[in-house]
């Protein structure tokens, strides 16, 4: 694993995200004919998830009311009588308290996990919407594969929060490749895409694992015609 020692990251890591980043262009279109990046529209289903879940819950209660109304009331009555019998011992209150505290803590844990997960989408600068980390990794992989020394590459991008991302690349390069040139190319590609195109920041210099292809030193030696022939003196002998 190699870290790229770039002096620009000393000031770059503490800088703010760009407010006027270059427009994004995808595909192989020409510079003048490419369309600018547009803000992705949120899915209508995403905004209706809460009402749909509430409607499903209400429908389930309606089904229970029509199908199993009497058993449900009997179960509720038995549970209420059991709780009334244990009113003075404090075990019911303790159990209820522990359950509610655990439920509230679980809600905070789930909210924190969703807000800090490294695979969550990245918010682009200038309120241009969000972009999946896999899409960023795909664009960066395409840029890295344009390097002459790189034969194959895999790229991982993680969301580190505060408009910062972490880049890790696994490279397979040619046997004659120079490691410094390869790492500089990865650094430049990540800097251009993340900072100049997306208006984001790198949480640290890109990490790169480099694997060289094996150099094939085998040579084919053609058989000499003179060796396959029998010398006339040998026939006389």
Instruction: Write a three-state SS string for 91-127.
Output: HHHHHHHHHHHHHHHHHHHHHHHHHHCCCCCEECHHH
State the pLDDT at residue 162. 80
Mean of all residue pLDDT scores within the chain: 73
% of the chain surpassing 90 pLDDT = 4
| Residue 127 forms part of a structural domain | yes
State the pLDDT at residue 48. 73
State the pLDDT at residue 13. 44
| Residue 231 forms part of a structural domain | no
User: Residue 123 belongs to what H/E stretch?
Assistant: strand 122-123
Q: Which of the two residues, 122 and 93, has the higher pLDDT score?
A: 122
Is residue 17 helix, strand or coil? coil
User: Residue 140 belongs to what H/E stretch?
Assistant: helix 133-144
CATH number assigned to the domain comprising residue 146: 3.30.70.1350
* Predicted TM-score (pTM) above 0.85: no
Q: Which of the two residues, 109 and 7, has the higher pLDDT score?
A: 109
Tokens of 215: 């150099």
pLDDT average, residue stretch 142-147: 90
Ramachandran angles phi, psi of 156, nearest 5°: -125, 135
Give yes or no: residues 199 and 175 share one domain.
yes
Q: How confident is the model at residue 29 (pLDDT cuts 50, 70, 90)?
A: very low
Tokens of 178: 């120079």
Q: How far apart are CA 185 and CA 132, in angstroms?
A: 23
State the pLDDT at residue 79. 79
| Residue 33 forms part of a structural domain | no
Give yes or no: residues 123 and 77 share one domain.
no
pLDDT average, residue stretch 153-169: 87
Cβ count near 38 (within 10 Å) = 10
pLDDT average, residue stretch 226-235: 50
pLDDT average, residue stretch 135-147: 90
| Residue 174 forms part of a structural domain | yes
The pLDDT tens digits for 42-88 are: 555 666 777 888 888 899 888 888 887 888 888 888 877 877 776 66
| Residue 193 forms part of a structural domain | yes
Give yes or no: residues 67 and 55 share one domain.
yes
State the pLDDT at residue 104. 86
Is pLDDT above 60 for 136?
yes
Is pLDDT above 50 for 25?
no
Give yes or no: residues 124 and 209 share one domain.
yes
Domain span at residue 192 reads 118-214
CA dihedral 126, 8, 115, 140 (to 10 degrees): 80
Give yes or no: residues 105 and 133 share one domain.
no
pLDDT average, residue stretch 3-13: 42
Burial class of residue 189 (count of CB atoms within 10 Å of its CB; 0-12, 13-18, 19+): buried
Is residue 205 helix, strand or coil? coil
């Amino acid at each position: 694993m190699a870290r790229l020692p770039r002096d620009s990251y000393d000031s770059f890591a503490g800088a703010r995200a760009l407010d006027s980043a270059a427009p994004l262009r995808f595909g192989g279109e020409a510079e003048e004919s490419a369309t600018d990046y547009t803000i992705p529209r949120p899915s209508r289903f995403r905004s209706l998830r809460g009402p749909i879940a509430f409607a499903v819950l209400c429908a389930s209660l309606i089904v229970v009311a029509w199908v199993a109304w009497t058993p449900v009331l009997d179960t509720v009555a038995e549970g209420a009588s059991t709780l009334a019998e244990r009113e003075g011992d404090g075990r019911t209150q303790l159990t209820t308290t522990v359950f509610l505290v655990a439920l509230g803590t679980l809600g905070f844990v789930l909210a924190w996990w969703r807000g800090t997960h490294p695979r969550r989408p990245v918010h682009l600068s200038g309120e241009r919407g969000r972009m999946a980390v896999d899409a960023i990794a795909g664009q960066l992989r395409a840029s890295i594969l344009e390097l002459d020394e790189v034969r194959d590459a895999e790229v991982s991008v993680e969301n580190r929060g505060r408009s910062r991302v972490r880049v890790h690349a696994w490279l397979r390069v040619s046997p004659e490749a120079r490691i410094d040139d390869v790492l500089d190319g990865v650094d430049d590609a990540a800097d251009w895409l993340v900072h100049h195109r997306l208006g984001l920041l790198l949480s640290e210099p890109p990490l790169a694992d480099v694997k060289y292809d094996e150099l094939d030193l085998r040579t084919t030696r053609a058989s000499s015609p003179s060796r396959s022939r029998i010398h006339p003196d040998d026939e006389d002998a």
